[in-house]
Amino acid sequence: MIVFQFISYTLKTLLRHIFWLYKLSQSTIGKQSQITFPIIREGAGALTIGDMARLDKHTNLGIGQKGTLSIGQAAVFEKEATILVNKNCQVIIGENFKLGAYARLYVNNHWQFGDDVKIETHCAIFSREPQGQGILKIGNGTHIGDFTIIDLVQDVTLGQEVAIGPNCTLYTHDHEYTNKELPAWKGGLVSKPILIEDGAWIGSNVTILPGVTIGKRAVIAAGSVVTKDVPEETIYGGIPAKLIKTI
């Protein structure tokens, strides 16, 4: 019985790998690219990656029917990095993109990233509610640190040269919790977008709540909870975050 199960598992694994290779052969991968197999490639959508890409073992790229994932040259996907694009959705990413090991991007709308965008290890970027269809826009040179969570129930826009430290959380939704017949987290959904403007610096372990705008070159101190808009060229910190000084 064990031998039969092993043979069955081996055959299924082999067939799965052959299918992934077939799907990868239907994709457009640029010249001088380095691929460490197996690579998971699924879905009926279109995949295009420019020259000099590096796809590490178990990179997972899934694009649904009529979906598109287009990435410029010199992209790096570290081991078990994942981008799943839902049907009829589109992701356009510029050059020198990096997606760190075990990071997960689940796309339910049209997203656009500029050049030199870095998303580090174990980041989780997707809607935290099944009905969410937020749009993510990231400008040139923006860097998102390890273990950061970005909730895409509503839109999130990150400007150019934004730095987000590790272990940050950006939440675009909340729940109505006044109905005493329901658990507090099961009330009606309330969602608002988040905007972080060019050159802002978000320290590690920062939480940003729905509806917040952080101005150009503003600095948020590590460990803060940002509940209200932050003007440009200021330093905010604390729980809740308050003005520390003007730059």
Which residue among 17, 110, 143, 175 is the active-site one? 175
| Mean pLDDT, each 10-residue run in order, the chain (247 residues) | 78 91 95 97 98 98 98 98 98 98 98 98 97 97 98 98 98 90 86 98 98 98 98 98 97
Q: What are the chain's domains?
A: 1-107 (no CATH), 144-177+184-247 (2.160.10.10)
The per-residue pLDDT for 236 is: 98
Helices (H), the chain: 2-25
Residue 8: the pLDDT is 80
pLDDT tens digits, 129-156: 999 999 999 999 999 999 999 999 999 9
**Residue 230 gets which letter from DSSP?**
B
- Whether 175 sits among the annotated catalytic residues: the reply is yes
DSSP H helices in 74-168: none
Query: pTM for this structure?
Result: 0.95
pLDDT in tens, 170-193: 999 998 888 888 898 888 889 999
**Burial track 189-198 (b if 16+ CB lie within 10 A, e otherwise):** eebebbbbbb
